[in-house]
Amino acid sequence: MKFIIKILVVAASLWVAIQFVDGVEITTRTGTANYWGTLLVVALIFGVVNAVIKPIIETIGCAFYVLTLGLFALVVNAGLMLLTSWISAQIDVPFHVSGFWAAFWGALVVSIVSWVLSLVLPD
């Protein structure tokens, strides 16, 4: 149950990022079941990418985190958003992030919204 709630939180966060950040988009019609299904698939991909690759990057780039007082995490999150977009394209999921800055702002929005929702929702 906890896993499903986390995926729904990430999906809601991605939806907010799609609404507010130019360059982060799903290319199916808004409001359809296909749109929401795509959003859930992208949330699942983003969750797997964060669970598998982020710890490896954090371990390797530990010095960068310390030198930048944690600001390097914003660059890592943008890279993971771009990787999610690339993986989505490889498996024909209509999710696209158009560049680094779109990924940067999109990842920032996803992080903030996920954090706020995790405060509101019970564990």
Q: What is the tens place of the pLDDT at every residue in 13-61? A: 999 999 999 999 998 876 788 889 999 999 999 999 999 999 999 899 8
Per-residue pLDDT, averaged over 114-119, amounts to: 92
* H helix runs in the chain, sequence order: 2-20, 33-60, 62-67, 72-90, 100-120
pTM for the model stands at 0.89
Question: How high does pLDDT run on average in the chain?
Answer: 92
pLDDT confidence tier of residue 3, bands split at 50, 70 and 90: confident
